[in-house]
């Protein structure tokens, strides 16, 4: 059985990624990262998702990105609530995806997985540089020079980003078609203490608009009524 590492944040995109990897009959090794994020509730969601898809193994790597700060998600910077800006938003976490993919690469190398699934999306996204297809292609190329297999002539490493060109509503449809219960996912950057979404940050807006476009109600909303 072919193996894959799936980066699992607990959000909608990585949940759909997990579902797609499972549907493609990969033996899944799921990886979350506890990095000092403000929205740590996402790790509870990630664990539930990993259990619901009966992954082969689920691990949480710890790396405290508050050491560097520089983001509204890891520092004393307010999460914007006034709608999207034109620039890279302050919720961007410096080098986060590079660090996550690097950890996934270590995990993949150790368990012998040659595919890493990650939920980057360049359509309905927040304008982060490390979500663009050219970035992912460059990471893949670097990964194929980084590991032992590349010296010993092993199989190539692939960074699979099946959501890259999907709209957010299409991601929801793909997830639902493959068994994701979106009530188990969270998107909010600034949730309340009980995990309830703020309904005002960019991530909440994108999520609400996506369910609305499908004429559906977000199943997570019912959890907090």
Q: Does 202 bind a second copy (CB under 8 A)?
A: no
Q: Does 69 bind a second copy (CB under 8 A)?
A: yes
The residue among 93 and 210 lying less far from a second copy, judged by its C-beta, is 93
Q: Which of positions 14-53 make contact with a second copy (CB under 8 A)?
A: none
Q: Does 225 bind a second copy (CB under 8 A)?
A: no
Strand partners, 115: 4, 158
The residue among 152 and 222 lying less far from a second copy, judged by its C-beta, is 152
Strand partners, 158: 115
The answer to whether 2 and 26 are in contact (CB under 8 A) is yes
> Least distance in Å: CB of 96 to a second copy?
7
The number of beta carbons lying within 10 Å of the beta carbon of residue 147 is 16
- Kindly give, in sequence order, each residue whose CB lies less than 8 Å from that of residue 193, ignoring residues fewer than 6 positions away: none
Q: Which one among 18, 41, 72, 143 touches a second copy, defined by CB under 8 A?
A: 143
By CB under 8 A, how many residues form the interface with a second copy?
46
Q: Does 86 bind a second copy (CB under 8 A)?
A: no
Q: State the Cα–Cα distance between residues 133 and 105, nearest whole angstrom.
A: 18
The tokens describing 212, both together, are: 């609305």
Where does this chain touch a second copy (CB under 8 A) — which range of 117-125, 149-157, 170-178, 207-215?
149-157
Q: Does 123 bind a second copy (CB under 8 A)?
A: no
> Which of 11, 44, 46, 12 has its CA nearest to residue 30?
46
Biggest alpha carbon–alpha carbon distance for the chain:
56
Q: Does 158 bind a second copy (CB under 8 A)?
A: no
Q: Which one among 3, 44, 56, 127 touches a second copy, defined by CB under 8 A?
A: 127
Q: State the Cα–Cα distance between residues 138 and 129, nearest whole angstrom.
A: 12
Q: Does 77 bind a second copy (CB under 8 A)?
A: no
Q: State the Cα–Cα distance between residues 190 and 137, nearest whole angstrom.
A: 31
Where does this chain touch a second copy (CB under 8 A) — which range of 16-24, 54-62, 179-187, 216-224?
54-62
Q: How many angstroms separate the Cα of 138 from the Cα of each of 2, 7, 134, 158, 174?
A: 24, 18, 6, 11, 26
Strand partners, 27: 3
- Chain residues binding a second copy by CB under 8 A are 59, 61-65, 67-70, 87-88, 92-99, 101-103, 105-107, 109-110, 127, 129-130, 132, 134-135, 138-139, 141-143, 145-148, 150-152
């Amino acid at each position: 059985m072919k193996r894959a590492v799936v980066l699992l944040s607990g959000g909608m995109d990585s949940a759909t990624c997990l579902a797609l990897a499972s549907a493609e009959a990969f033996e899944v090794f799921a990886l979350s990262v506890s990095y000092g994020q403000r929205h740590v509730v996402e790790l509870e969601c990630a664990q539930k998702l990993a259990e619901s898809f009966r992954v082969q193994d689920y691990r949480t790597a710890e790396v405290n990105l508050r050491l560097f700060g520089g983001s509204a998600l890891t520092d004393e910077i307010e999460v914007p609530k006034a709608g999207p800006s034109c620039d890279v938003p302050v919720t961007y976490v410096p080098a986060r995806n590079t660090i996550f993919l690097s950890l996934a690469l270590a995990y993949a190398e150790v368990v012998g997985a040659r595919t890493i699934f990650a939920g980057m999306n360049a359509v309905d996204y927040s304008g982060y540089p490390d979500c663009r297809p050219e970035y992912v292609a460059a990471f893949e190329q670097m990964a194929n020079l980084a590991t032992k297999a590349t010296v010993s002539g092993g199989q190539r490493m692939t960074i699979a980003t099946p959501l890259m060109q999907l709209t957010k509503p299409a991601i929801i449809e793909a997830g639902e078609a493959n068994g994701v219960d979106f009530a188990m996912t969270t998107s909010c950057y600034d949730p309340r203490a009980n995990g309830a979404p703020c309904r005002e940050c960019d991530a909440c807006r994108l999520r609400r608009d996506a369910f609305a476009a499908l004429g559906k109600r977000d199943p997570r909303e019912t959890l907090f009524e």
